[in-house]
């Protein structure tokens, strides 16, 4: 019998670009909390690029999804049925509850939200995994010094936008790379980057050179592929690269690879890949600083909100193809 809990499952492993029919919807029974558990009504779902590699049957830092499994993801929701006095009904939480209307959680698996720190949805963006990812990758791996040039790919996105703003706060010069003049204007005029280059422009390489006259000291890489290779052509000696994502390859049947290995060697570049899930203790260090910057108006962000959980697959595809603008969210319930 159909139940009230709408869930989005991975129907099959995608072949190249994700398609809507790679997902399936089901109406399941309402979960019943046990001792120490709470039932959460999801309000907003986060869509993030890391979800795409999880859909491939390949070894990774997390087990791949099997056909028929619930799509993973973080959400902000409200406790509506509590079996834990520490999480009374009405508590707003962020938790990894996946693509569903309702989910079970415990005190150990949720982050209780303080509405005074910002809108609840910010816990999925600037005050959540993307913000902490940006903070860690830039400050712990990129380590920009005042006056250096930091280049950020996918600069209008949830992670990239925060990276460039932190670089500016730390006294560095921030250069973004984004898709389209509209996104580039947003990166410069609203987020405060020093420059932004449209990777779709026919003269992208020339524009990148003009925006980085002193070369590139720090690269925060979210895209990979030809965009990364173009930046490697501008890299300075002893530069640092924080390898956060490789979204250009996520939907390729054959990976592009990296053609700029010579630049890494000749310029003695330090490159470190990282997954923020490995750095749970770092959240306590990053969130207070991110919160203070947000409250002071030093951090700005944009959200792209799709309406209705049933539209999550379409919104996910829009994000993977760069058609979204800002942090991609899905409003699950009002």
Alpha helices in the chain (DSSP H): 51-54, 129-136, 158-169, 181-189, 204-211, 225-232, 261-266, 283-295, 312-320
* Domain match, 104 and 219 both: no
Asked if the structure places residue 176 within a domain, the reply is yes
Last residue of a domain, one of 277, 293, 318: 277
Give the CATH number for residue 150: 3.40.50.720
Residue 287 lies in a domain: no
Domain for residue 290, yes or no?
no
Residue 286 maps to a domain: no
The dihedral sign for the CA sequence 92, 245, 320, 196 = positive
Q: What is the pLDDT of residue 174?
A: 98
Q: In whole angstroms, give the CA distance from residue 92 to residue 199.
A: 39
Taking the mean position of all CA atoms in its chain, how far away is CA 84? Answer: 31
> Number of helices and strands (H, E) in the chain?
9, 15
Any domain includes 74: yes
pLDDT at 252: 78
- Is residue 284 situated within a structural domain? no
- Both 149 and 23 in one domain: the answer is no
Q: How far, in Å, CA of 242 to CA of 251, rounded?
A: 22
pLDDT attached to residue 231: 98
Which domain does 198 fall in, by range? 130-277
**What is the mean pLDDT, run by run of 10 residues, along the chain of 334 residues?**
87 95 97 97 97 92 94 98 98 98 98 92 97 98 98 97 98 98 97 98 98 98 95 98 93 82 96 96 96 96 97 97 94 86
Find the CATH number of the domain harbouring 308: 3.90.180.10
190/327 same-domain check: no
> How many domains does the chain fold into?
2
Same domain, 252 and 267: yes
161 and 37 in a common domain:
no
pLDDT of residue 1: 44
Residue 155 and residue 203 in one domain: yes
The pTM assigned to this predicted structure is 0.94
Q: Which of 327, 332, 331 is nearest to 129 (CA)?
A: 327
Give yes or no: residues 150 and 267 share one domain. yes
* Nearest by Cα to 90 from 43, 127, 132: 43
Residues 190 and 259 both lie in one domain: yes
Alpha carbon 222 to its chain centroid, in Å, reads 9
**Co-location of 136 and 118 in the same domain:** no
Note whether 175 and 120 are same-domain residues.
Answer: no
In a domain, 209, yes or no: yes
Do 120 and 71 belong to one domain?
A: yes
Please give the Cα distance from 176 to 298 (Å, whole number).
Answer: 17
As to burial, measured by CB atoms within 10 angstroms (0-12 exposed, 13-18 middle, 19+ buried), residue 319 is buried
Neighbour tally for 245: CB within 10 Å: 25
DSSP code of residue 303: E
Q: Both 116 and 159 in a single domain?
A: no
Q: Which residues contact 233 (CB under 8 A, 6 or more apart)?
A: 205, 260, 263
Tell me, what's the pLDDT at 122?
97
Q: Is residue 291 part of a domain?
A: no
pLDDT of residue 243: 98
């Amino acid at each position: 019998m159909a139940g009230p809990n709408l869930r989005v499952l991975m129907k099959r492993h995608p072949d190249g670009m994700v398609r809507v029919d790679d997902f399936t919807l089901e109406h399941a029974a309402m979960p019943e909390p046990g001792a120490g558990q709470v039932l959460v009504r999801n309000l907003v779902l986060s869509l993030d690029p890391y979800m795409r590699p999880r859909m491939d049957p390949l070894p990774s830092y997390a087990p791949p999804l099997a056909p028929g499994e619930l799509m993973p993801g973080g959400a902000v929701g409200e406790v509506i049925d509590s079996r834990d006095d520490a999480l009374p009904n009405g508590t707003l939480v962020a938790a990894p509850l996946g693509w569903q209307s309702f989910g079970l959680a415990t005190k150990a698996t949720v982050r209780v939200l303080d509405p005074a720190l910002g809108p609840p949805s910010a816990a999925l963006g600037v005050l959540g995994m993307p913000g902490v990812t940006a903070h860690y990758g830039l400050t712990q791996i990129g380590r920009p010094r005042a006056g250096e040039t930091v280049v950020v790919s996918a600069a209008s996105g949830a992670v990239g936008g925060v990276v460039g703003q932190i670089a500016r706060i730390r006294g560095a010069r921030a250069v973004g790379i984004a898709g389209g003049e509209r996104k580039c204007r947003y990166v410069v005029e609203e987020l405060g980057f020093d420059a932004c280059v449209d990777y779709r422009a026919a003269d992208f390489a020339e524009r990148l050179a003009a925006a980085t006259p002193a070369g590139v000291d720090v690269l925060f890489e979210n895209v990979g592929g030809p965009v990364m290779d173009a930046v490697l052509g501008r890299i300075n000696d002893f530069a640092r690269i924080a390898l956060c994502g490789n979204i250009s390859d996520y939907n390729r049947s054959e990976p592009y690879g990296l053609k700029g290995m010579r630049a890494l060697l000749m310029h003695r570049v330090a490159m470190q890949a990282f997954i923020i899930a490995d750095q749970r203790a770092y959240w306590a260090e990053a969130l207070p600083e991110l919160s203070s910057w947000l409250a002071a108006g030093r951090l700005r962000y944009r959200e792209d909100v799709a309406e209705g959980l049933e539209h999550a697959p379409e919104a996910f595809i829009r994000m993977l193809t760069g058609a979204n603008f800002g942090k991609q969210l899905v409003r699950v319930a009002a």
